[in-house]
């Protein structure tokens, strides 16, 4: 019985199953689809809703709102922000900040960032890009690189939403071209350090391999 080939086959199969289970336990996050996900899309494409759906299985999420807070001076923007807030589960915590690197660095639970486009616009204003102030490019590079470095090293599941800016016409203004070029470069850098990148078109998500 000790040399029964059928027993040896059974033992070998059990060993393979145990080895597979060990790998699953070790890399469970990747198997379950956690990690760093970048969601790209045009305006009103459904990219934010898709990102929220991806995070819906988590009972607790930090929602990082990276754009300007709503104000009475811009009722249309305030209405958009209110619509986004109404969709979020009550268990999610909202953080309104331009310090994306700090918010992600301190995170101990899943994070949803919405969106990199509004954040870039805010940062460009803070570093003096619109007025072409001396040293604005160096200040901008530092802010962007800090975020990319933190994104690359994060250990919590994170989804970032961003505008896809490479498919439209060339902006007619200098500020528009600066925004397009900076956000396009940031999207490329973030995508290079993401586990999953998706493009949302008319509510349909396409995996970018």
The secondary structure of residue 99, as a DSSP letter, is -
**What residues form the annotated binding site for GTP?**
41-48, 65-67, 85-88, 96, 114
Positions at the binding site = 41-48, 65-67, 85-88, 96, 114
Active-site choice (50, 58, 84, 193): 84
Query: How many helices and strands, by DSSP H and E, does the chain display?
Result: 8, 7
Annotated catalytic residue 84: yes
Domain ranges, ordered by start, for the chain: 1-31, 33-207
Tens of pLDDT, residue by residue over 98-139, are 999 999 999 999 999 999 999 999 999 999 999 999 999 999
User: pTM for the full model?
Assistant: 0.77
For residue 141, what are the contacts with CB-CB under 8 A and spacing of at least 6? none
Q: Where do the H-state alpha helices sit in 47-74?
A: 47-55
Coil, helix or strand for 163? strand
pLDDT digits (tens, 9 = 90+) for 136-162: 999 999 999 999 999 999 999 999 999
Q: Across-strand partners of 196? A: 37
33-207, which class in CATH? alpha beta
């Amino acid at each position: 019985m000790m040399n029964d080939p059928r027993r040896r086959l059974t033992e070998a199969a059990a060993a393979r199953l145990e080895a597979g289970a060990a790998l699953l336990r070790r890399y469970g996050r990747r198997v379950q689809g956690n990690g760093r996900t970048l969601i790209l899309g045009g305006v009103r494409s459904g990219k934010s809703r898709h990102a929220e759906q991806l995070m819906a299985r988590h009972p607790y999420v930090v929602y990082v709102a990276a754009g300007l807070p709503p104000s009475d001076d811009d009722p249309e923007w305030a209405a958009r922000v209110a619509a986004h807030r109404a969709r979020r589960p009550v268990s999610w915590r909202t953080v309104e900040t331009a310090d994306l690197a700090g918010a992600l660095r301190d995170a101990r639970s899943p994070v949803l960032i919405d969106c990199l486009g509004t954040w870039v616009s805010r940062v460009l204003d803070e570093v003096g890009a619109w007025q072409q102030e001396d040293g604005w490019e160096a200040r901008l590079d530092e802010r962007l690189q800090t975020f990319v470095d933190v994104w690359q090293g994060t250990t919590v599941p994170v989804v970032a939403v961003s505008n896809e800016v490479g498919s439209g016409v060339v902006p007619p203004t200098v500020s528009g071209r600066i925004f397009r070029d900076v956000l396009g470069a940031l999207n490329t850098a973030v995508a290079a350090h993401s586990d999953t990148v998706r493009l949302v078109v008319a509510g349909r998500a396409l995996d970018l391999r």
